[in-house]
Structure 1
Amino acid sequence: MPISFKRFSDWPIPIKIIISFAVVILLGSVVLAMPFSQLESSQATYFDHLFSAVSMVAVTGLFTEPLAYTYNIFGQFVALFLIKLGGLGLITIVSAIILQFGRRVSIKEEVTLKQALNRSDMTGFRLFLISVVKYTTVVELTGALLLSLHFIPLLGWRRGGFTSLFLAVSAFNNAGFDNLGTESLQAFVDVPLVNIVIPLLIILGGIGFSVWFDVSRYFKQFLSVRSWIDFKGTYRRLKLHTRLVIKWSFWLIVSAMVLFMLSEWNNAGTLGNLSFFGKIQASFFQAVTLRTAGFATLDYTQLHIFTLIFFTIYMFIGGSPGGTAGGAKTSTVALVVKLISSEIRGIDNVNYKKRTLQMDIVKRALVIVVMFVLLNFIALALMTIFDEHIPLQYLFFESVSAFGTVGLSANLTPELSRYSQSIIMLSMFVGRLGPITIFTALGKKDRKQKNITYATGNILIG
């Protein structure tokens, strides 16, 4: 074993993850910058390619130069590869390949994989990893096949087929990239097939692999239920995490739809000129894409300020752990909300579904949310220095979109200064890996001092 590789294997887990992602980004940016990856009409600089590579690996969807007008078919395949790596996770893919070749994975490596996928246990871990790769491929190909029913008649066999595959992979990995132009999916706001398949792919990718396999265990029972009582009985057999994620994901989508319709129903720039069914369809699409997908079927420069504000909150929450989505995560925010509720009601424990949650997990959730808020505001403050002329609400929307790896934008990213674009790149990178991973990697290696207890002190608050 080479000395450099041996040293790398001995490094802390967070540093391995950070370096792995950074290396893939740099290599991807170099390949994208090569002439054989670009169209002859491309005006992109290396900075633009680096920005795109970060956005692809961070599965965000923001860009300084549009993908469709920058990269040829080979460059777009490279983009797909980077999106796939970023969405599924480098560690997951490498480990799945290793397992397929029969190499044994050490306990230390399995712990790394468990953290990368937010797994709570080690049972059946190898089969889980292989299943993730297999099922994601099946879902993406199925999505591509369905989308091809619209895009092949529209664009022809070659371009239509590839566009369907590109959109399916990008949607499932919550990446938000398309190879159609600069306006995302606005041209398809009234196409039911696109407005159903894309959101379903987003939901499946962002809800988390653990939820997938937990639901699949009871899938046949769900199909056979004949009454509400049977359904509730089967639903209660799901893991506590699964039930919390499903519940929060459902209500976040529904509430976002309702708020969006109330705010934009008569706005001629968004929903105003659509039919009743078109308004429902467009509202559903925008509500789902807030789960950090980054696609849009409407022009976000036309949104009311109120809509931008509540969109920002939903983008901050993001998707669920162990999937392809970013953000603070639904379960993390749910625990913080329940902690606040318990404090208001004077309850010492944090309970959910007649279960008392471990306080260590609740504290970790609180730290993650606070760090997300803090880092978002730091990024916003820096961007106001370099682009003071841009309205604050649009800078804030852009900052949260980058840090939550959402990818939605009011057509602002290309207009930002290089300094602000650099902040956006760093935000996407940190947002994808997670503040906890970054700060753990930069922290001290010596953890022996962490449990020291001193005499009790008291500080007034409020």
Structure 2
Amino acid sequence: MKKFLDQFSDWPIPIKIIVSFAFAMFVGSLILAMPFSQLETSQATYFDHLFGAVSMVAVTGLSTVPVAQTYNLFGQIVTLVLIKLGGLGLITIVSAIIMQFGRHVSMKEEITIQQALNRSNMKGFSHFLLNVVKYTTLFETIGAILLAFTFVPIFGWPKGLFNSIFIAISSFNNAGFDNLGTESMQAFVDTPMVNIVIPFLIIIGGIGFSVWFDLARNFKQFKKARSWIDFKGTYRHLTLHTRLVIKWSLWLIVSAMVIFTLAEWTNPNSLGNLSLTNKLQAIFFQAVTLRTAGFSTLNFAEFHMFTLVVFTVFMFIGGSPGGTAGGAKTSTVALVVKLIGTELKGQTNINYKHRTLEIDIVKRALVIVVMFILLNFVALSLMTIFDEEVPLQYLFFESVSAFGTVGLSANLTATLSRYSQTVIMFCMFIGRLGPITIFTALGNRDRKKRDIRYATGSILIG
């Protein structure tokens, strides 16, 4: 074992990240498959447990069997552990525990965690990592306490409190798993506490750890602001990344709310029969859950096809880097949009907020977006072969949901063939790690050999 760990420490960083996630998924599936993790009435096969473990560690939420009807208390606790491992990463959590007990973490390990958390520098990294774990626990605890006001009166103290903890952790980690039944949060479409607490946990978890601490550093200045000018001045002190993430996150939520309102307001199967207050709650909840969370208070199978098609765009974008969310990421897509705008304007430099962005970052963003599109196309093509009778639009929604680690489904996952479900498992795995991690890992060894420059050539395009 010691020899393996020594070899593991010398592996390329992307390989370490991939192996740690794969290891957590495999071990989790074995534990979930044990009789002591399941209810006596469970009919799940090992494939169902493997699919569930992959989805849990990938913090997606898609499943072939419901958690509540498959796993007992121990199995549900294992589910929470897998979600936590997926949200922060196995390497991150183990290293944080080591640091907490005062042990040293090597420079190699710090760089590995840095890349796993998508952090750009090593300054104050140990302190940053411990704060991530502490504040993650704090937010989840606050969320569980607030949700308990709803679930304890319904389920009683023991079960109600556990359900609150389960859903708070699942929400914060953008996992989308619940232990209530087969219809996600649809029974609580008219419950204000559920429709407020869960979306805010999703937002906080998906906005990125670096954004948290940047906002915290400037919190006192925001409190002192007495006018709009003061507020804007403090806002400019935030990092460029934080300002971009906040702007795009707000824009995506608001635009999703507007589109959903226009498309579904009179649909009797979704918003049509709800009161005004409940409509507003449902609109906000669905707009936020598209940020890779996977919960729903409405049945997506009853939405207009236009709504599902448009929602795939939001699921594709996902959350922000360095958090618990998946997808191509807000800042990544924003950079590609800036690149397109720059090209259309005939400009050379890519600028944002009076800053010129490094071309290497923009190229990396473009590669991620293109890879996401290509891999989605491959997955969709395979699923159309294995489940030809299923409408293309629903397969498209399912594949994007898996790649974006969103977990929303038009009640389709459990009905697909094992072949399509296997494709979805690979989609969730790649979506959690990010295509850039996978392909960096594959090409890592030959990077120096392939970085060759020849005489300049020219090719016509367009």
Q: Does residue 273 of structure 1 match 2:273?
A: yes
Amino acid at match of 2:120: S
The answer to whether the 8 Å contact 2:51/2:63 transfers is yes
Amino acid at match of 2:77: F
Which residue does 1:119 correspond to in 2? 119
Which range moved further: 160-169 or 93-102? 93-102
2:77 & 2:106 partners in 1: Cα distance? Answer: 33
Task: Tell me by how many angstroms 1:237 deviates.
Answer: 0.2
Which residue does 1:297 correspond to in 2? 297
Cα deviation code 1:188-230 (max 9, x no counterpart): 0011110000000000000000000000011122122211001
Which residue does 2:170 correspond to in 1? 170
Amino acid at match of 1:101: F
Task: Tell me by how many angstroms 1:444 deviates.
Answer: 4.9
Identical pairs, percent:
74
Task: Tell me by how many angstroms 1:100 deviates.
Answer: 1.2
1:12-51 paired onto structure 2 within 5 Å:
12-51=12-51
Amino acid at match of 1:318: G
Which range moved further: 95-104 or 210-219? 95-104
Task: Tell me by how many angstroms 1:22 deviates.
Answer: 0.9
Q: Does residue 179 of structure 1 match 2:174?
A: no
CA RMSD in angstroms comes to: 0.9
Q: Does residue 312 of structure 1 match 2:323?
A: no
1:222-301 paired onto structure 2 within 5 Å:
222-301=222-301
- With structure 1 as the length reference, what TM-score do the two structures score? 0.99
Task: Tell me by how many angstroms 1:450 deviates.
Answer: 3.8
Task: Tell me by how many angstroms 1:442 deviates.
Answer: 1.7
1:188 & 1:331 partners in 2: Cα distance? Answer: 32
Amino acid at match of 1:72: N
Give the secondary structure class of the aligned counterpart of 2:85: helix
Task: Tell me by how many angstroms 1:448 deviates.
Answer: 1.8
Which residue does 2:92 correspond to in 1? 92
2:31 & 2:226 partners in 1: Cα distance? Answer: 55
Task: Tell me by how many angstroms 1:92 deviates.
Answer: 1.3
2:123 & 2:228 partners in 1: Cα distance? Answer: 32
Q: Does residue 397 of structure 1 match 2:397?
A: yes
The answer to whether the 8 Å contact 2:12/2:444 transfers is no
2:396 & 2:287 partners in 1: Cα distance? Answer: 19
Which residue does 1:59 correspond to in 2? 59
2:279 & 2:109 partners in 1: Cα distance? Answer: 48
Which residue does 1:322 correspond to in 2? 322
Task: Tell me by how many angstroms 1:15 deviates.
Answer: 1.0
The answer to whether the 8 Å contact 2:16/2:112 transfers is no
Cα deviation code 1:329-384 (max 9, x no counterpart): 00000000000000000110110000000000000000000000000010000000
Cα deviation code 1:22-67 (max 9, x no counterpart): 1111111111011110000000000000000000000000000100
Which residue does 2:207 correspond to in 1? 207
Note the residue ranges of structure 1 that are not aligned, 5 or more in a row.
none
The answer to whether the 8 Å contact 2:207/2:323 transfers is yes
Give the secondary structure class of the aligned counterpart of 2:114: helix
The answer to whether the 8 Å contact 2:88/2:117 transfers is no
The answer to whether the 8 Å contact 2:199/2:285 transfers is yes
2:183 & 2:81 partners in 1: Cα distance? Answer: 23
1:106 & 1:76 partners in 2: Cα distance? Answer: 34
1:166 & 1:451 partners in 2: Cα distance? Answer: 48
Aligned residues, how many?
Answer: 462
Q: Does residue 380 of structure 1 match 2:380?
A: yes
Task: Tell me by how many angstroms 1:394 deviates.
Answer: 0.2
Give the secondary structure class of the aligned counterpart of 1:310: helix
1:35 & 1:361 partners in 2: Cα distance? Answer: 48
Note the residue ranges of structure 2 that are not aligned, 5 or more in a row.
none
Which residue does 2:449 correspond to in 1? 449
Give the secondary structure class of the aligned counterpart of 1:68: coil
